[in-house]
Amino acid sequence: MEEIQSQSDHYRSSSSSASSPAGRVPAFNFFYLRKPGSLGQPISFEDSPEWEDTDADVRVEEGGGDSINAATTSVSPSLSKLNSGSLPSPQLPEGAAVARKIAGASVAWKDLTVTIEGKRKYSDNVVKGSNGYALPGTMTVIMGPAKSGKSTLLRAIAGRLPPAAKMYGEIFVNGAKMHMPYGSYGFVDLETTLIGSLTVREYLYYSAVLQLPGFFSQKKSVVEEAIHAMSLGDFANKLIGGHCFMKGLPSGERRRVAIARELVMRPHILFIDEPLYHLDSVSALLMMVTLKKLTSTGCTLIFTLNQSSTEVFGLFDRICLLSNGNTLFFGETLACLQHFSNAGFPCPIMQSPSDHFLRAINTDFDRIIAMCKNWQDDNGDFSAVNMDTAVAICTLEATYKSSADAAAVETMILRLTEKEGPLLKSKGKASNATRIAVLTWRSLLIMSREFKYYWLRLILYMLLTLCIGTIFSGLGHSLSSVVTRVAAIFVFVSFTSLLSIAGVPVLMKEIKIYASEESNQHSGALAFLFGQLLSSIPFLFLISISSSLVFYFLIGLRDEFSLLMYFVLNFFMCLLVNEGLMLAVVSLWKNIFQSVLTLVTIHVVLMLAAGYFRIRSELPGPVWTHPLSYIAFHTYSIQGLLENEYLGVNFAIGQVRSISGFLALHSAYDISPRSNAKWENVLVLFLMAVGYRILVFVLLHFYARKNVSLHRLFRGKHNSTA
């Protein structure tokens, strides 16, 4: 303890001259001037700020009332520079409706601990005994260096922890230990998958239809409110991610779209993981001003932040400072400055508070000090960073635990939880039929605009079919052409199926969109699969009929319309099976490289077992015949196409003898002599297409259900500890 005190005193003495207002007064704004006894005020950026109490008033109603109400926090006059026009502030379009007021919801967490499963046991404490709260109409930020537990704490409060995590402690919403129902809260992840080929308005409209019950026309007003709330009016009709030669939205506006997607539900509580992710300083300030105005509707806003500028820091109402899972401070932003000063680490006047906080508690700075210990700055030494970070963390943690700020947090949590307020209710979901229709129509719209993913694939199919057709053209209908025609059909089915792997990026994108929407319960596995199937049928049928026509007439197959239609149907079912196989592999790996490598391996093995290189009856029994030759969709497609071409055909041998097509083909490929055998092969292909999609449903549903059950288990443990 003496070592901690000595190093703390050394750091205080080295920085006191730089942080004393009397010793150093800047000639411009944006410095922190603290008035004694005014720790409840927002940070001021004025040289002579006007102080007034704007803290949220939390009270428990008397006289029969049982709800916990919180007045929304008004913007302090000390932030007049942000609202007077000297700094840009998003404005609503003329004639736009004022944002609708949202009933507030208070959130409190007590003794919250999260552990992540290691190799042997649950030993890695990511969050350790955290206490805190968030009030309606306020912004609560969870701040800390990388790997400090910010996102884990945010996910724990929102009930979004991964399966490998265990959570202990209590979480209260409006004073009650409960799970937040669907529609009562929104969660914006660090990486939200957006659909680049849709405009902002289209994307939000489809999201609203997926989330909300009711008729389609009723969602337009909700979408417009979300667009206005996030100041996206100028970008509403622009494509999100760019299309052809059109430029997409900047990263700041894309982040706004991700937040607006959650606002269409009008949530009581909004969780955002790193709202300033990949944003420059101006975009970050505009984002935070927009979110600050959002809190004026009554929404409770909780988000994480890695670092912020001075202007952004002044917009926060409360800050939760973490380091290695430990809470170093929770309270109002100005009180955090005072807390660091009391612990012996005052913030220098010309330094951003968030930079100062992270400098003091980020262990990575120890490496910087070690690297720079022989360097000299303009003053001759590197004295500004000469303190061990572990000492600072221990000092700040010990100071906070014994401070009035920690006691005030416990008192506020007690007040927020001593009486239950109104329970949050689910707003209802869209029906599965509605979701299937929306997903199908949205996918069709995406297909019509995504040239490189869909139309380019169609062109590649046509080119490949043209190459195969020209190589095997002019075969004739003699007995000697049977073996070559078998080779042509085998090459056609195998190579076009192999070319389908080019659609892996499309399926990967669809899986990511589904995962992003399913995590917030905007979609489900059944609706996704039906929507994907119905939307892919027109595209696959277009490929099958165009490729079949080119191949059929170049090879010179039998000139009958019914036989041509069977050829098209057979090839369509083959593509449908292959699409299901790719979807299953992509759902399993969720990685493009691994999916492509797996699919290439599967296709090569199935091609070897398809009965062309060696007749299926002569394949080695244990592996190649059973099960590979029976699970290879190539086998049934090729067999059906050959039966369609050769059953009922006779070849003349000399003047008086003839041989049937079945006997002529029997030595080159195994087919059935029955006339309806080709339809049985189509039926097998149909059942395989259904089977692969059932497998995909099981994979998607199992992962989703596993996450939901674990979250419910965590919540159940919280309730049992009451």
For 24-60, write each residue's pLDDT tens digit. Answer: 333 333 333 333 333 333 332 222 223 233 333 333 3
pLDDT at res. 572:
98
pLDDT at residue 100 in the model: 60
- Higher-confidence position of 50 and 571: 571
Higher pLDDT, 216 or 636: 636
Is the pLDDT confidence value at 613 over 50? yes
Give tens-digit pLDDT for 443-489.
999 998 888 888 899 999 999 999 999 999 988 888 889 999 999 99
pLDDT higher for 712 or 341?
341
Side chain identity, residue 469: G
pLDDT attached to residue 375: 53
Range from 48-57, 157-166, 263-272, 308-317 that averages highest in pLDDT = 263-272
What is the structure's pLDDT at 425? 84
Least confident of 140-149, 340-349, 603-612, 688-697: 340-349
DSSP for 211-224, written as a single string: HS-S-GGGGHHHHH
Percent of the chain topping pLDDT 70: 78
Phi, psi of 653 (to 5 degrees): -125, 105
Say whether pLDDT at 173 is over 80.
Answer: yes
- Record the pTM: 0.80
**Does 256 have pLDDT greater than 50?**
yes
Model confidence at 79, in pLDDT bands (50, 70, 90)?
Answer: very low
The confidence band for 74, taking pLDDT boundaries of 50, 70 and 90, is: very low
The domain ranges of the chain are 107-184+269-375+385-418, 194-266, 432-707
**Is 377 a residue whose pLDDT tops 60?**
no
User: What per-residue confidence (pLDDT) applies to 653?
Assistant: 83
Contact 692/582 with Cβ under 8 angstroms?
no
What radius of gyration do the chain's Cα atoms show? 33
- Nearest in space to 288 (alpha carbons), one of 235, 231, 243, 234: 231
Does the structure show a pLDDT above 80 at 575? yes
Q: What is the mean pLDDT of residues 137-158?
A: 92
Lowest model confidence (mean pLDDT) among 31-35, 269-273, 299-303: 31-35
* CA nearest neighbour of 211 among 261, 150, 158, 154: 261
- Average confidence (pLDDT) over 398-403: 92
Residue 463 has, within 13 A of its CA and on its CB side, a CA count of 7
Beta-carbon count within 10 A of 480 CB: 10
Confidence of residue 372 (pLDDT cuts 50, 70, 90): low
**Higher pLDDT pick, 654 / 290:** 290
Q: In this predicted structure, what is the pLDDT of residue 97?
A: 44
pLDDT (mean) for 282-286: 90
Q: Which residues contact 401 (CB under 8 A, 6 or more apart)?
A: none
108 by Cβ neighbours in 10 Å (0-12 / 13-18 / 19+) ranks as: buried
In what order do the strands lie in the sheet containing 122-134?
Answer: 122-134, 107-117, 165-173
Handedness of CA 221, 223, 225, 231 (dihedral sign): negative
Given 3.40.50.300, 3.40.50.720, 3.30.1330.10, 3.40.1010.10, which CATH number is that of 107-184+269-375+385-418? 3.40.50.300
**What per-residue confidence (pLDDT) applies to 243?**
54
More confident residue, 452 or 240: 240
Beta bridge partners of 124: 116
Average pLDDT, rounded, for the chain: 80
